[in-house]
Chain A
């Protein structure tokens, strides 16, 4: 009898221990869920083709969490600290979705991610299954906020607005110079962001008197851009419009230089590198005079400049991934603060009614309509004398545009 009892206890202990160890190994996030605090899921592509940008996003998010906690945490929840649950989408939408589900099961009250449009579409859809608030940091596809998912919010602008803004400002710049540019070529990566941006641009540029003579899509990664450069050289467009991720943009810019391509302007729209301090530092000659219509912080905002200094002190280039994700986390934290709760419905309602303004972006206070921040807008930048200057809108400008680019 005693023997049987010992056996039974032993088996239970064995099963319990095994379950605990297996659980801990399989879901380390669950262990963290036991700690007090508000858990925010951060889903980014920190490996795979988007690794550079994904890591920048993660750094921005962690900076925001550190700043919130240093300032006393979520005060309406008794100073609860924010805890980032990290996940790697491996630059794949399906992995992004499964990681989102894992983080939600692990206690994440909200999700911030997923950098690329294609990944963001998957992570938001997964979060919608449990109505978990999801703030998209960078993804620009219009579909992200057009599917009627009440849990999805985007702090930054979508590509429809960015492309319209880019076309309007290109027309303004061209007109001010006496309309020297008549033709354009669009070079874009062929996933949701690049294809969508190119489609909007090619529809709107002719309305401004600029004919789109060729649209060239390419994959990510692309190992060689010589073919594309040869086509540009052959067509001789006045304006070259790239819409690419960082690595491809660098290769394209280098190849255009090798092939001695001259154009009146390189006018990137969401160009992965043209608004990057890293690109400007590493390729000062190739970068000079390139214009970009992209996410950018308000250079006149003291808070934004402080954050730039903080990022640079960590050895990071202050790229759009950092400040967009920083602000996405801040926006979510502000909603939790005002909701005084981590309940999904309460946080979603707080996000929907957000008027947050401490973002240091050229946006004005947030105003969400169907999950999209209406004030979000890009700016036009240009690389001048080895630095990135804002040239439009005028109220945020730090320099005057140089167009056409000097030969």
Chain B
């Protein structure tokens, strides 16, 4: 291994990990707090990426300006999906939720294939090839932006959950649904709002991912497993954990790729995952049950 590229590789791992964390932040709310195993997370990310792509293609909107449109639109979609599809079809049973979200993922992917075709699409921005030089490493500008956006998003979500009535309602719902209903919380509404926020965060991830990545109907699949791994690694429901977990995964992937080769380097992610489950099953930032 060439040690002169170790530091650039680690820095790249940190920025790539922040992108993974952005995808995982929404999932940690949906999966970690609400305990909904959302198999449609990847498909919804793909929809958000197409939203960013078409806003650029049809209206020339820069992906960063799409932050004003795509996340709110994804929130509405998430709210509607939970309120009118997932909740109704699952009848509150966990195994049904799993099947409904899996079904949704298949339906969304196939609809995307039908309407958008299987072509890989990219957005060309004036800054696509701009870099920020840090300690001799060229960090792509879109990844640096994504890194700081991931920090801001995690902080905002943390503040939302700990400093607002909505956050308290969500946490109450996660801990004791009946109790929450008894104290006057509109359980169905708050559930849908939480799911909507999780999906809305995917919209943020899409706006920040699109300048350096591509979209196709299958693109979400590459992120789903990583996102679930990050959520468990960071600690279920912990936004700081998702951020740290994402960065850990990014760095392990980068350094593993350097040391073991790109094909084999991926096993580092799952080795870390198994070690965490063995020695700290509640995750890096999780609390012992």
List of B residues within 8 angstroms of A260 by Cβ: 131, 138
Q: In the complex where A230-B9, A233-B5, A234-B4 touch, is A51 in contact with B261 (Cβ < 8 A)? A: no
- Digitize B258-270: 1 where CB-to-A-CB distance is under 8 Å, 0 elsewhere: 1001110110000
Q: In the complex, which residues 107-121 of chain B have their Cβ closer than 8 Å to any Cβ of chain A?
A: 109-110, 113, 117-120
- In the assembled complex, the CB of A276 is this many whole angstroms from the nearest CB of chain B, namely 10
Q: In the complex where A221-B222, A258-B140 touch, is A227 in contact with B120 (Cβ < 8 A)? A: no
- In the assembled complex, the CB of A273 is this many whole angstroms from the nearest CB of chain B, namely 10
Are A254 and B5 neighbours in the complex by a CB distance under 8 Å? Answer: no
CA–CA, A218 and B264, complex, Å: 8
Q: In the complex where A246-B120, A258-B129 touch, is A51 in contact with B216 (Cβ < 8 A)? A: yes
List of B residues within 8 angstroms of A231 by Cβ: 2, 5, 258
List of A residues within 8 angstroms of B9 by Cβ: 226-227, 230
Instruction: Say if the beta carbon of B8 comes within 8 Å of chain A.
Output: yes
A278 to B, closest residue via Cβ: B119
* A/B interface sample: 27 pairs, CB < 8 A: A46-B113, A47-B109, A47-B113, A49-B218, A51-B217, A52-B118, A52-B119, A190-B263, A218-B263, A222-B262, A223-B16, A223-B222, A223-B223, A224-B254, A226-B12, A227-B12, A227-B257, A227-B265, A228-B257, A230-B5, A231-B5, A234-B4, A247-B214, A251-B213, A255-B140, A258-B131, A258-B140
Q: In the complex, which residues 244-263 of chain B have their Cβ closer than 8 Å to any Cβ of chain A?
A: 253-254, 257-258, 261-263
Instruction: Say if the beta carbon of B122 comes within 8 Å of chain A.
Output: yes
Identify 18 new A-B residue pairs, CB closer than 8 A, beyond the known A54-B118, A55-B119, A247-B216.
Answer: A46-B118, A47-B110, A51-B113, A55-B117, A217-B261, A223-B16, A223-B223, A224-B254, A226-B9, A226-B12, A226-B16, A227-B257, A231-B258, A234-B5, A246-B120, A247-B214, A278-B119, A283-B124
Are A219 and B216 neighbours in the complex by a CB distance under 8 Å? Answer: no
Instruction: Say if the beta carbon of B81 comes within 8 Å of chain A.
Output: no
B6 to A, closest residue via Cβ: A230
| 9 nearest CB pairs, A to B | A51-B118, A218-B262, A226-B12, A230-B5, A227-B257, A55-B118, A190-B263, A234-B2, A52-B118
List of B residues within 8 angstroms of A395 by Cβ: none
- In the assembled complex, the CB of B195 is this many whole angstroms from the nearest CB of chain A, namely 26
Interface of A is mostly: helix
B254 to A, closest residue via Cβ: A227
List of B residues within 8 angstroms of A192 by Cβ: none
List of A residues within 8 angstroms of B5 by Cβ: 230-231, 233-234
Between A226, A246, A254, A260, the greatest number of chain B beta carbons within 10 A of the residue's beta carbon is seen for: A226
List of A residues within 8 angstroms of B117 by Cβ: 55
Q: In the complex, which residues 275-317 of chain A have their Cβ closer than 8 Å to any Cβ of chain B?
A: 278, 282-283
Instruction: Say if the beta carbon of B77 comes within 8 Å of chain A.
Output: no
Interface residues on B, range: 35 or more
Q: In the complex, which residues 70-119 of chain B have their Cβ closer than 8 Å to any Cβ of chain A?
A: 109-110, 113, 117-119
Instruction: Say if the beta carbon of B55 comes within 8 Å of chain A.
Output: no
List of B residues within 8 angstroms of A52 by Cβ: 118-120, 216
Q: Which listed residue, A51, A219, A246, A254, touches B266 by the CB 8 Å rule?
A: A219
A214 to B, closest residue via Cβ: B2
Instruction: Say if the beta carbon of A48 comes within 8 Å of chain B.
Output: yes
Instruction: Say if the beta carbon of B272 comes within 8 Å of chain A.
Output: no
A273 to B, closest residue via Cβ: B120
List of A residues within 8 angstroms of B122 by Cβ: 250, 282
CA–CA, A54 and B223, complex, Å: 22
Instruction: Say if the beta carbon of B180 comes within 8 Å of chain A.
Output: no
CA–CA, A292 and B263, complex, Å: 24
Are A228 and B262 neighbours in the complex by a CB distance under 8 Å? Answer: yes
B→A interface (CB under 8 Å): 2, 4-5, 8-9, 12, 16, 109-110, 113, 117-120, 122, 124, 128-129, 131, 138, 140, 212-214, 216-218, 222-223, 253-254, 257-258, 261-263, 265-266
A232 to B, closest residue via Cβ: B5
B119 to A, closest residue via Cβ: A52
A→B interface (CB under 8 Å): 46-49, 51-52, 54-55, 190, 216-219, 221-224, 226-228, 230-231, 233-235, 246-247, 250-251, 254-255, 257-260, 278, 282-283
A223 to B, closest residue via Cβ: B222
CA–CA, A217 and B261, complex, Å: 7
Between B4, B5, B216, B223, the greatest number of chain A beta carbons within 10 A of the residue's beta carbon is seen for: B5
Q: Which listed residue, A190, A247, A259, touches B138 by the CB 8 Å rule?
A: A259
A56 to B, closest residue via Cβ: B118
A261 to B, closest residue via Cβ: B138
CA–CA, A255 and B128, complex, Å: 10
CA–CA, A190 and B261, complex, Å: 11
CA–CA, A235 and B2, complex, Å: 9
List of B residues within 8 angstroms of A235 by Cβ: 2
List of A residues within 8 angstroms of B218 by Cβ: 47-49, 51
CA–CA, A374 and B49, complex, Å: 45
List of A residues within 8 angstroms of B120 by Cβ: 52, 246-247, 250
CA–CA, A76 and B257, complex, Å: 58
CA–CA, A308 and B200, complex, Å: 42
- In the assembled complex, the CB of A242 is this many whole angstroms from the nearest CB of chain B, namely 13
CA–CA, A324 and B36, complex, Å: 46
Are B129 and A257 neighbours in the complex by a CB distance under 8 Å? Answer: yes
Are A47 and B119 neighbours in the complex by a CB distance under 8 Å? Answer: no
Are A254 and B129 neighbours in the complex by a CB distance under 8 Å? Answer: yes
List of A residues within 8 angstroms of B261 by Cβ: 216-217
CA–CA, A270 and B185, complex, Å: 60
- In the assembled complex, the CB of B85 is this many whole angstroms from the nearest CB of chain A, namely 22
Are A230 and B8 neighbours in the complex by a CB distance under 8 Å? Answer: yes
CA–CA, A282 and B263, complex, Å: 28
Are A219 and B262 neighbours in the complex by a CB distance under 8 Å? Answer: yes
Q: In the complex where A219-B262, A230-B9, A231-B258 touch, is A47 in contact with B140 (Cβ < 8 A)? A: no
